[in-house]
Amino acid sequence: MKETRILISGGGIAGFTLAYWLKQRGYSPIIIEKHPCLREGGYKVDVRGTALEVAKRMGIYQDLLDANVNLKKSKLVTPHLSTFEFEGDILGHCSEGDIEVNRWDLVQILSRTVGAIEVIYDDSITMIGELVHFEKGDPREFDLVIGADGLYSNVRRLAFGEDSEFLRKYGIHFCVFPINNIFDLDHSEIVYFERGKFVAAYAADHHSYACLAFRSEKGITASKNLKDEFEKQFGELGWKIPQLISAMKSSDDCYFNFIAQVRMPCWSKGRVALVGDAAYAASAMGTSLSMVGSYVLAREIEKSDGDCEIAFNKYEQSIRSFVEDAQDLAEANHQLLAGDESSTKMTLQLYLMKIFPKKFIQFITKRGREQMRKVANGFALEPVAATGKSDEPTSKASLRK
């Protein structure tokens, strides 16, 4: 009977995946989440490569298929308002077999799959010492503390230092928000971009979301009204941008963030470890890395019988190269929007986009899919028989539409 007390900070994709696998292995993890409930909303995310095998071992593969946004076509709108149509998804570099789901659907599936565990909402960790102290609750004792709390990880800051030591920013700020289906999309996506600015929207089943992104080396200070800043950046653009700005300003469900990578020499310190975006944001494989990383971390905790030094070292040794390959690919892909606007590379890309828009997009999409498929399958899970334990699920979640 394992008595290792494990606290997971973050009730998202990484947190619930980790909680599931720890529970399967006999532990009773506790999740603490700063939001008062499961955080709704979010754009579509991809489950691909090795993460699909994790989903199958969790018994949620069919749930993911049922929730698949199943984009049938994409439209590209150029700065001159020429429109080109493509089959499938041109943004996510999806290959055959990859599954795209809305982030909120995935979080619901994962949380229901975990089943009955203690989840503390509307609270956060303030200090990790002999006892773990909380903003609202009484101090408690834990053997392991896992930060699965995303890019702005509170656990990372408390245990490792300030964000500035580990964040590699790309000067790209984005906002995701729900919209009415103003583009009349049906399981499809529409994309518009010009130098330094990017717009996308998709609609599938009960979801319709938009994303605005822009490049700014100056950044956005916390004191600024973020909605006003996005209106300033996009306010002079035509097409249907004014309608999107209006939808953003009237929405109370906007998610603002910036694109950055977390690069750390080590993902653990003492009895504290990081998983998912807290340790290795960001890439087009963030969801998949979170699921695979959580699976491996739970496996190593069990194998080491709770010895955190052994478990955390094995966890990192197992997947660091897999993670770094994904981050390196993402870093290269960010350059079109994030690169120096006067750079020769960016000027050439925009020129090719202008004179050969469809062929250029088909070329970079094909190349992107090939690269993503290779990286996404770059790590193989240990066969179930080799673990000595069955990974068969004890419960199964069903997404409520």
- What's the pLDDT score for residue 376? 92
Using the Cα atoms of residue 167, residue 263, residue 215 and residue 47 in order, give the sign of their dihedral: negative
Beta bridge partners of 85: 75
- What's the pLDDT score for residue 1? 42
- What's the pLDDT score for residue 353? 57
- What's the pLDDT score for residue 94? 66
Residue 244 counted as domain residue: no
Residue 162 counted as domain residue: yes
Using an 8 Å Cβ cutoff, are 244 and 140 in contact? no
- What's the pLDDT score for residue 386? 53
Beta bridge partners of 46: 100
Residue 400 counted as domain residue: no
**Which two structure tokens, joined as six digits, stand for 138?**
């009484």
- What's the pLDDT score for residue 396? 38
Residues shown for the chain: 401
Query: Cα separation of 353 and 14, whole Å?
Result: 37
**Which two structure tokens, joined as six digits, stand for 227?**
């909605």
Helix (H, G, I), strand (E, B) or coil at 100: strand
Number of domains, the chain: 1
User: Which range marks the domain in which residue 128 is found?
Assistant: 6-67+99-167+261-343+352-387
Query: Cα separation of 212 and 337, whole Å?
Result: 12
- What's the pLDDT score for residue 401? 34
Amino acid 295 reads Y
In sequence order, the 6+-apart residues with CB closer than 8 A to the CB of 342 are: none
Residue 32 counted as domain residue: yes
pTM of the predicted model as reported, rounded to 2 decimal places: 0.88
User: Which residues of the chain fall short of a pLDDT of 70?
Assistant: 1-2, 90-95, 219-224, 332-365, 368, 385-401
pLDDT tens digits for range 115-164: 999 999 999 999 999 999 999 999 999 999 999 999 999 999 999 999 99
Residue 316 counted as domain residue: yes
Residue 43 counted as domain residue: yes
CATH number of the domain that residue 121 is part of? 3.50.50.60
Residue 301 counted as domain residue: yes
In sequence order, the 6+-apart residues with CB closer than 8 A to the CB of 142 are: 5, 6, 7, 30, 132, 271
Residue 196 counted as domain residue: no
